[in-house]
Amino acid sequence: KTALCTNGTSHTETNMAARLALGPRVRELRLLLCQTSPASTGAREFVNKHYADLKAANPTTPVLIRECSGVEPQVCARLERGEEQRIALSDLSADDVLAQLKKFASA
């Protein structure tokens, strides 16, 4: 049985949002992936499983999904003062992609 919080969301939903919060330093997040490449499988699964929760946890942060044939999967974060950081996502699982995104929250 799932208990509801005072705002009507479940504890599970609240915990997921907390896990996906990027923090105030992240101004934009771009996820680059290939629609068919095996190296992008985890990135595609991440989008399917976690995009809605990621966006809900970061409503004012643009989260862009860019698909391009043959591109190496990666996530790019534009931080405050225009700084950009990139992390390669080749051959990672959806959970590993989530772990990589957490690095931006603590950056």
Structure-token pair, residue 25? 């330093």
C-alpha distances in Å from residue 37, one per residue of 34, 47, 67: 6, 15, 11
pLDDT at residue 14 in the model: 46
Distance CA(11)–CA(7), nearest Å, equals 10
Distance CA(77)–CA(82), nearest Å, equals 10
pLDDT digits (tens, 9 = 90+) for 13-69: 445 546 688 888 899 999 999 999 999 999 999 999 999 999 999 999 999 999 999
Distance CA(62)–CA(80), nearest Å, equals 14
pTM score: 0.79
Longest Cα separation, the chain: 46
